[in-house]
Amino acid sequence: MAVETPRYATVLRDGDHELRDYPALVVAEVTVEGDQKTAANRGFRLLANYIFGGNRKRAEIAMTAPVAQQAVGEKIAMTAPVAQVPGAAGTWKVRFTMPSAWTLDTLPVPNDARVSLQRIEPARLAVRRFSGLARPEDVQAQSAALLAWVQARRLRPTGPVTLAQYNPPWTPWFLRRNEVMVEVAR
pLDDT tens, residue by residue, 119-178: 999 999 999 999 999 999 999 999 999 999 999 999 999 999 999 999 998 999 999 999
- Tell me, yes or no, whether 100 lies in a domain: yes
Domain around 151: 9-184
SS3 of residue 107 by DSSP? coil
> Which helix or strand (DSSP H or E) is residue 40 part of?
helix 36-51
141 phi, psi to nearest 5 deg: -65, -45
> Distance (Å, rounded) from C-alpha 83 to C-alpha 124?
20
- Tell me, yes or no, whether 133 lies in a domain: yes
- Tell me, yes or no, whether 3 lies in a domain: no
- Tell me, yes or no, whether 160 lies in a domain: yes
Q: pLDDT class for 80, splitting at 50, 70, 90?
A: very low
Count structural domains, the chain.
Answer: 1
State yes or no: pLDDT of 84 exceeds 80: no
Strand partners, 125: 20, 183
Angle at CA of residue 68, ends 15 and 61, nearest 5°: 125
What's the confidence (pLDDT) of residue 87? 37
How many Cα atoms are found within 13 Å in the side-chain-facing hemisphere of 32? 21
pLDDT tens digits along 28-43:
999 999 999 999 999 9
- Tell me, yes or no, whether 164 lies in a domain: yes
- Tell me, yes or no, whether 1 lies in a domain: no
State yes or no: pLDDT of 55 exceeds 50: yes
Q: pLDDT class for 53, splitting at 50, 70, 90?
A: very high
- Tell me, yes or no, whether 134 lies in a domain: yes
CATH number of 48's domain: 3.20.80.10
- Tell me, yes or no, whether 4 lies in a domain: no
What's the confidence (pLDDT) of residue 148? 98
Q: pLDDT class for 74, splitting at 50, 70, 90?
A: low
Q: Are 161 and 105 in contact (CB under 8 A)?
A: no
What's the confidence (pLDDT) of residue 119? 97
> Distance (Å, rounded) from C-alpha 44 to C-alpha 92?
12
> Distance (Å, rounded) from C-alpha 43 to C-alpha 38?
8
> Distance (Å, rounded) from C-alpha 32 to C-alpha 46?
10
What's the confidence (pLDDT) of residue 88? 54
Q: pLDDT class for 81, splitting at 50, 70, 90?
A: very low
CA distances from 151 to 58, 79, 118, 155, 157 (A): 46, 8, 30, 6, 9
